[in-house]
């Protein structure tokens, strides 16, 4: 007999939503694990659909037609992400950068103005600052932790502010509730990339944001084996993104990757909680080590915005940056000799990663900062930092790796 799930007497807790939110049993077999619908094409009857003169009113109101627009497996991932973020709907893409593209090119046109964090994920920062101006979109980079600077940067044609909290790579925070008050009063959309935080730590929509973005490749997938992205929010906003980007941008997420990412969602809460607990131990070790000059971790009282982290983040996360006198030598030793850490870019794997991020390299390739912005950048990162993405290994093994690299 098909299982009938009674409605809960109260809203489900967030950790439960990671397992149950948006999950649908197979209608034929009642399989609990999501299926992978690999078909590109779906049969339909002539006349089905809700196409309008301007394109598609709401693709999710249509029967499944073509995997470039919607796919049963991808759609279930979208519903699960919407449940996790407390959103009406979500739109999944082939990568996190594709999600940012979908948002920017849906809500911005020639003559509009975008405000973006002066420091954020390099791919999105370069997209905004190097490509959008080619299409007549004005872009300002602002340190969003200073709300007076945000207010001063707003213009009559400002349509969107894009934040990232914690930001990559500084782990600097933005007061999302306070920023949302500014945007709401002026009728400006607020989008927040919450990849580093995940819904385990922060739910930006609950703090007043209009849209929340994720690189699903990172902590939400959690296994380093599938690219993906998404943007979630109010249904009317997500419908606009889907009808534009879903049809015309060609950045559809594959069913295989959607299935892998949903597998990762099942363990998101225990993974993030365990990794945050380990990161706190590693950060405390680094802070006490004589070879380490600075440690930035939202869970440490020494973080410049620790009070905000305590208000805005339920867990402090799994990312740490730290400075040493000779970072290249330490990076070389970790890359060559570490028993546990892998020397690699990206974050959010079940295995711990380390990489050296030089300030000068990022200034040459990505960030163009004013003197005040550069001073704030160096406050967090100096001339460069080693970035740790803590995984699920025993924290003592991670500490031993670091200790060997720091003391040789």
Of 310, 313, 356, which is closest to residue 332 (Cα–Cα)? 356
User: Which secondary structure element, helix H or strand E, spans residue 397, and what is its range?
Assistant: helix 395-407
Residues 242-265: b if buried by 16+ CB within 10 A, e if exposed: bbbbbeebebbbbbebbbbbbbbb
The pLDDT assigned to 1 comes to 38
The pLDDT assigned to 351 comes to 96
Hunting for tokens 């034929």 — which residue is that? 28
Distance of CA 143 to the CA centre of its chain: 18
Pairing of strands 384-389, 113-117: unpaired
Decide if 15 contacts 269 (C-beta within 8 A): yes
pLDDT, mean over the chain: 92
Is 192 in a helix, a strand, or coil? strand
The pLDDT assigned to 36 comes to 83
Hunting for tokens 């950048």 — which residue is that? 377
* d(C-alpha 158, C-alpha 377), whole Å: 25
Q: Which fold has domain 268-407?
A: 3.90.1150
- For the ranges 6-15, 237-246, 283-292, the maximum mean pLDDT occurs at 283-292
Q: Say yes or no: do domains 14-266 and 268-407 share a fold.
A: no
Decide if 85 contacts 216 (C-beta within 8 A): no
* Least confident span in 44-48, 222-226, 362-366, 403-407: 44-48
For the question of whether the overall pTM of this predicted structure is more than 0.95, the answer is: no
The pLDDT assigned to 55 comes to 52
The pLDDT assigned to 9 comes to 67
Hunting for tokens 């993974």 — which residue is that? 271
User: Considering the domain 14-266, what is its CATH architecture?
Assistant: 3-Layer(aba) Sandwich (3.40)
Decide if 89 contacts 232 (C-beta within 8 A): yes
Comparing 54 with 18, which gets the higher pLDDT?
18
- Extract the tokens encoding 233: 């929010």
Per-residue pLDDT at 295 exceeds 70: yes
Is 3 in a helix, a strand, or coil? coil
**Rg of the Cα atoms in the chain:** 22
What would the pLDDT profile of 77-127 be if each residue is shown by its tens digit?
A: 999 999 999 999 999 999 999 999 999 999 999 999 999 999 999 999 999
Decide if 143 contacts 373 (C-beta within 8 A): yes
- Extract the tokens encoding 119: 């420091």
* d(C-alpha 87, C-alpha 212), whole Å: 9
* C-alpha count within 13 angstroms, C-beta hemisphere, residue 124: 34
* d(C-alpha 18, C-alpha 261), whole Å: 12
Tell which phi-psi region holds residue 284, choosing left (phi > 0), alpha (psi between -120 and 50) or beta.
alpha
Of 75, 97, 346, which is closest to residue 213 (Cα–Cα)? 97
- The domain limits of the chain are 14-266, 268-407
The secondary structure of residue 7, as a DSSP letter, is P
Pairing of strands 353-358, 342-343: parallel
Mean pLDDT of 371-399: 96
Mean pLDDT of 31-40: 79
From residue 338, alpha-carbon distances to 115, 263, 332, 344, 354 in Å are 41, 29, 10, 12, 10
The pLDDT assigned to 52 comes to 46
């Amino acid at each position: 007999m098909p299982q009938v799930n009674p409605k809960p007497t109260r809203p489900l807790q967030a950790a439960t939503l990671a397992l149950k939110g948006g999950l649908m049993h197979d209608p034929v077999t009642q399989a609990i694990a999501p299926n992978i619908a690999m078909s590109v094409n779906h049969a339909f009857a002539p006349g089905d659909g809700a196409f309008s003169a301007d394109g598609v009113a709401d693709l999710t109101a249509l029967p499944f037609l073509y995997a470039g627009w919607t796919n049963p497996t991808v759609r279930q991932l979208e519903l699960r992400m919407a449940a996790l973020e407390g959103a009406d709907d979500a739109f999944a893409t082939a990568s996190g950068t594709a999600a940012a593209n979908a948002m920017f090119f849906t809500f911005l046109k020639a003559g509009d103005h975008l405000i973006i964090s002066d420091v954020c994920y390099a791919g999105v920062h370069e997209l905004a600052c190097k490509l959008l101006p080619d299409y007549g979109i004005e872009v300002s980079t602002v340190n969003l932790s200073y709300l007076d600077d945000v207010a001063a940067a707003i213009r009559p044609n400002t349509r969107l502010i894009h934040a990232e909290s914690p930001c990559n790579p500084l782990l600097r925070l933005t007061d999302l509730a306070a920023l949302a008050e500014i945007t709401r009063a002026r009728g400006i959309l607020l989008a927040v990339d919450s990849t580093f935080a995940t819904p385990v730590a922060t739910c930006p929509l609950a703090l007043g944001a209009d849209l929340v973005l994720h690189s699903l490749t990172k902590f939400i997938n959690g296994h380093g084996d599938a690219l993906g992205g998404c943007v979630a929010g109010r249904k009317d906003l997500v419908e606009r993104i889907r009808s534009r980007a879903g049809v015309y941008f060609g950045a559809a997420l594959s069913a295989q990757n959607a299935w892998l990412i949903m597998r990762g969602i099942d363990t998101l809460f225990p993974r993030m909680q365990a990794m945050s607990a380990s990161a706190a131990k590693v950060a405390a070790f680094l802070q006490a080590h004589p070879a380490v000059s600075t440690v930035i971790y939202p869970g440490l009282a020494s973080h410049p915005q620790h009070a905000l982290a305590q208000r805005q983040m339920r867990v402090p996360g799994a990312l740490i940056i730290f400075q040493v006198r000779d970072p290249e030598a330490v990076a070389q030793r970790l890359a060559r000799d570490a028993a546990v850490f892998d020397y690699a870019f990206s974050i959010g794997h079940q295995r711990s990663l380390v990489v050296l991020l030089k300030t000068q390299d990022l200034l040459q390739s990505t960030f163009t900062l004013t003197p005040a912005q550069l001073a704030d950048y160096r406050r967090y990162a100096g001339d460069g930092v080693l970035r740790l993405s803590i995984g699920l290994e025993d924290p003592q093994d991670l500490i031993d790796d670091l200790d060997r690299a720091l003391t040789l």
